[in-house]
Amino acid sequence: MRRVADMFKPLSRPAEMIHDISVLTLLICGVIFVIVTVLLVYVVIRFRQRPDDDGHEPPQIYGSTHIELAWTIIPILITVVLILVTSRTIGEIQNREMPENALKIRLVGHQWWWEIHYPEYGIITANEIHVPVSDRDPEKARPTHIVLQSADVIHSFWVPQLAGKTDLVPNKDNEIWIDPYEVGVYFGNCAEYCGTQHANMLLRVIVDTPENFQKWVDNQKAPPPPPTTPLEIEGERLFFANSCVSCHKVDRTVSQGVFGPDLTKLMTRQTIGAGVAPLTHENLWAWVKNPQDLKVDCYMPDMQLLPKEVDAITAYLETLK
């Protein structure tokens, strides 16, 4: 698990490109910092008024064209270097051609969860993005290209170890690409204030081996097993009888709700509520009972269910795997 999303430990090509230019920038700024600070400290110490000062004013110097030129030209040169490397890196990241085999994903931001479409596979899921691992060798690389959209306000996709951030803006399609080198789970956040629960709009990118990724795809496409126990069947009945279906969808059923996350493969996810709590039986039960307890002001209301109804619905939801 890469919970500490350190931008200086990049594990994807765009993040690496960013890392390289960032280190260069830090070095340049570090050198400037040291030089100017040393100069400042020197001046403060050397030209301090001494206790035995005779009270005469020091020589009244008004300026010096040579010195002015020197400390204008050197910063200009540094600026030119930075401009050149910056423009090059911008182009390398933003205008990168995607290979044919790139995985294509469409990510839609909602208040306060993520909707993910895999158009090539016909999969819709939520809050966790599965991608196949890529390769450092450009010949063997399989990057993932993500189109970014928003259903409501502006959000931002930020998984520091995989790429810089790009915003999800309503009525504007943005795009980003990642090229992860190592299998694992990568953590990120929504990085544009989007309302009350902005802090709990968390993101996981799960990088699988190609085999595991295919297994995941197959599982996502397969129908969930039908409910068997009486409790699960009762839960299914309640799920469809209540207004759950006006917001949520379970594949191959009559539910068509798109306002909330697709629940078809809910149990394959690691968290509930876009990362607000791990997906355990207790947390799922608590969420179904009253989501406002875990994520106050989220758009799923307290459904005023009786505890035994919650038992049943939870049991049904736990079949969605």
Partner 1 sequence: MATGPIDPNFKAPAPERVGEETGTWSHVIQNLVYTVDHKKLGLMYIGAGLLFFVVAGIMALLIRVQLFVPHSDFLEPAVFNRFFTMHGTAMVFLVGMPIIFGFANYLVPLMVGARDMAYPRLNAFGFWVFFFSSLFLYFSYFGAPGLYNAGSAPDVGWFAYSPLTSKAFSRGHSTDYWSLSLLLSGIGSIATSINILVTVFCLRCKGMTLGRMPLFVWLFIVVAFLVIIALPPLSACQIMITMDRYLGAKFFDTQAGGSAVLWQHFFWIFGHPEVYILILPGFAIASEVIPVFSRKPIFGYPIMVAASVMIAFISLGVWAHHMFTVGMTSLGNTFFAISTMVIAVPTGIKVFNWIGTMYGGKIRMELPMIFCIAFLFQFLIAGLTGIMLSVVPFDWQLSDSYFVVAHFHYVLIGGLLYTIFAGIYYWYPKAMGKMLSHKLGLWHFWLFTIGFHLTFLPQHVSGFLGMPRRIFTYEADRGWEIWNQLSTIGVPIQALGILFFVYNLIWSYYKGKEAGDDPWDAWTLEWACTSPPPEYNFEKAPEVRSRRPLWDLKHPEDPDWKFE
Positions 180 through 239 that interact with partner 1 (CB under 8 A): 187-200, 202
Asked if 147 interacts with partner 1 (CB under 8 A), we say no
Query: How far is Cα 131 from Cα 66, in angstroms, rounded to an integer?
Result: 58
Query: How far is Cα 22 from Cα 15, in angstroms, rounded to an integer?
Result: 10
Smallest distance, partner 1 to C-beta of residue 67, A: 7
Smallest distance, partner 1 to C-beta of residue 172, A: 6
Q: Is residue 88 within a helix (H) or strand (E), and if so which, with residue range?
A: helix 65-94
Q: Which stretch binds partner 1 (CB under 8 A): 66-74, 132-140, 252-260, 302-310?
A: 66-74
Query: How far is Cα 87 from Cα 286, in angstroms, rounded to an integer?
Result: 50
Query: How far is Cα 300 from Cα 259, in angstroms, rounded to an integer?
Result: 10
> Cβ closer to partner 1: 38 or 222?
38
Q: Are 288 and 314 in contact (CB under 8 A)?
A: yes
* 277-278 and 271-272 strand pairing: antiparallel
Asked if 47 interacts with partner 1 (CB under 8 A), we say yes
As beta bridge partners, residue 99 has: none
> Cβ closer to partner 1: 171 or 228?
171
Q: Are 187 and 159 in contact (CB under 8 A)?
A: yes
Site string for partner 1, 4-43 (x = CB under 8 A): xxxxx------x-xx--xx--xx--x--xx--xx-xx--x
> Cβ closer to partner 1: 93 or 206?
93
Backbone angles phi, psi at 9, to 5 degrees: -125, 65
Interaction residues for partner 1, span 82-121 (CB under 8 A): 82-83, 85-87, 89-91, 93-95, 111
> Cβ closer to partner 1: 76 or 254?
76
Tallying the residues shown for the chain, one arrives at 321
Given candidates 51, 52, 57, 100, which one binds partner 1 under the rule CB under 8 A? 57
Smallest distance, partner 1 to C-beta of residue 300, A: 15
Smallest distance, partner 1 to C-beta of residue 225, A: 32
Interaction residues for partner 1, span 278-317 (CB under 8 A): 296-297
Q: Residue 280 is encoded by which pair of tokens? A: 């355990």
